[in-house]
Chain A
Amino acid sequence: DQQVKQNSPSLSVQEGRISILNCDYTNSMFDYFLWYKKYPAEGPTFLISISSIKDKNEDGRFTVFLNKSAKHLSLHIVPSQPGDSAVYFCAARVGGGADGLTFGKGTHLIIQP
């Protein structure tokens, strides 16, 4: 039973355009959400997070939107740059994190020149 789903295994976006990565979850107890970026042969790098009491959080080119009623979050990257090409993981957590993070399977973002 996958509690965090990233339904697009890959996404191709032209450089300079907006990249939108989507994530759905089923566990209504999740109250903290994170996005990580991963290059091959490296560990995931933290990008941005959002608490369930907010619906938007912005950090530079990255914005995360949370729609609790739809149990959906999205990561917007604008403008997209070649260095953004990586696998992006959506993760969620209940409370203080005793159960660790629950991850989606990732979306491979490819930025086309």
Chain B
Amino acid sequence: EAGVTQSPTHLIKTRGQQATLRCSPISGHTSVYWYQQALGLGLQFLLWYDEGEERNRGNFPPRFSGRQFPNYSSELNVNALELEDSALYLCASSPRAGGRSDTQYFGPGTRLTVL
């Protein structure tokens, strides 16, 4: 069974540009979570999508947004990039929303560098 996939592996942008990161969940999983791991910090929850809708977001500004497609894949968009947006962005999927014991399975991440 294929795991969570993310693209691209690396992305280099300049300040002020927009970045788009993509994630494909494990087949059969409907929930997709996005996390940011900045240097020296732990993984921070960004966004949660389920059944095509944004269900919740972490403490991040509105320029972090995304969407989930009918096939449950997801896109994370970061607008007006700032230097501190440089981080590893991880996507995770789980079988269903609200499952008390559902485990999140992570992809390999996209390393975003903002120059």
Contacts and interface: CB of A to CB of B under 8 A. Distances in A.
Contacts, number: 76
Tell me the dominant secondary structure on chain A's binding face: loop
Interface string B38-57: 00011111101000000110
B107 to A, nearest CB: 5
B48 A100 contact: yes
Given A46-B104, A51-B101, A89 B94 contact: no
Contact of A96 (B4, B46, B98, B106): B98
B62 interface: no
A45 interface: yes
Nearest to B40: A105
Contacts of B20: none
Given A89-B42, A98-B56, A45 B98 contact: no
B43 A89 contact: yes
Contact of B42 (A41, A99, A103): A103
A43 B42 contact: no
Given A42-B108, A43-B106, A44-B106, A99 B45 contact: yes
A49 B103 contact: yes
A101 B90 CA distance: 12
Interface string B2-45: 00101000000000000000000000000101010000011111
Contact of B107 (A41, A43, A89, A102): A43
Nearest to A102: B45
Contact of B45 (A31, A34, A100, A104): A100
B101 A98 contact: no
Contacts of A41: 108
B101 A100 contact: no
Given A43-B90, A105-B41, 6 more contacts: A89-B42, A95-B98, A96-B100, A97-B48, A99-B45, A104-B42
